[in-house]
A and B are shown apart, each in its own frame.
Chain A
């Protein structure tokens, strides 16, 4: 409980007594941040739930126009990159620098593939006149309700895409920093925390996929 114990480990910040306290604080802080993220996305999920319960038929009809193939492949890609991320944390714990860098780059790589496919999908949506206000055309009943669906679709996938982009940047920056060996000398907490974030982004997509894509395909 005195300041001298900090000297033994270089990466323990001065407000903490030891590594375990610092790691516990970082993990706990990240989990609270994820709770705020749950409620941040929660606002959109609430809007989705309310409008889907108000206009179930129109939502199903609108959802029919999403591209399940891309949504499904993207789900698989995110799940796979989450697996790589989990292995990256393991590599950092085992102090395996080479493997850590490879896995971080791999995680980011699949994140980038996800974003490219997302872009292809948005491009297709634009050509199909599904973008609300800008070029929306709807030839079935209640175009307003379908437009609300697509507005939520773009808002939810868009916010998710921003999170994926942030995640990709974090992975790439950490991959560069990892070359100095910083994370493979016992100080693996930042990798662990970044991993929690990446898995959370994965979980959000796990819910977006059935709600936005699968709803209309039966």
Chain B
């Protein structure tokens, strides 16, 4: 058994290691080392907890058993999961953090002596407040992440689910959470604690159902942030600095990512959270556009265009992930490079279903990360490029975002694909993207539409090159 002071110092060390783990992600070279720091930090935190309890009785065996079973399942998932399913995986993992926070809070509420928080029915006020916050945020994270998971997995429809009185209902529930927390703290009633948990689960569910599929990058980041605040809340209850530091890190990390994603769509955070985006605009714009002429081509035409180009910019989007086209795309690019054509990739901040989604997929397909560029880095190069190859992206290339103040995506930063000499658009049909608006780019003279599955089309182009 080690002293409380010594273990507190070790917790601080593991907190610092977690900071270094995030710090490592500033570049791919240092990132692997960073992850290693994170693992060391976790090992220290767990070991110190065992040592400080000094309780190696029969219960210890069960702790190890649960740790091992969970660990094996986690490791199995980590090795089996395809990279395209990363958003679902992260959403699923968030829900587990949330639920774990809830369970720890329940356990602390039922047996406060074990945590030095007082006695059942007479828990220290401050601890009870911290515990309630941890439990409520944990519960919201859990149910919210489950919904996000179901939507991403396609089990639940990705379209926003809205109903009348939704916002007042949510507001009412949020207020009642605060009121119940107040009464819970003044009465120490365990019934109120359970009610608090139930309505927190409920609000997590209600908050996420109105948010549509393409807004998932914001939702996942937001839930990431929540899982951090839940951990911090529990950290205060347990008076554990590793947990407090980590909670704060994760909380601010998720918040920053949500901010970046919102900025990538030029929408405010509240606009996304209130949901139902695009549903109203759809009818007005799609009618008059049906008749406009479109140039469509086949793989042969596309191959011809690209063979005669000297530089090509690839614009991947969620459609590439759906079609699992990243490997086929890399093969096409390899062939292009053999013909001395310069190829680079342009990634919009909100491409895909989570921050950095496209980058991971391209990395999986062995695309070197120094050929992949962010919007600000590459946007000026479109004007000098010969061909833009848009695969599975739509709204993020729509010039309407610059020209039409009436458009729902007006002001959103877009990739200047239109400035390219010619544009190749791999898409299954002319249907509008998530924002529900038509893409002017489809009808431009220098645009060639390639109507096909992204993977098949890419493979065919490679054959024709």
Q: Do A and B come from one complex?
A: no
**Chain A interface (Cβ within 8 Å of chain B)?**
none
**Chain B interface (Cβ within 8 Å of chain A)?**
none
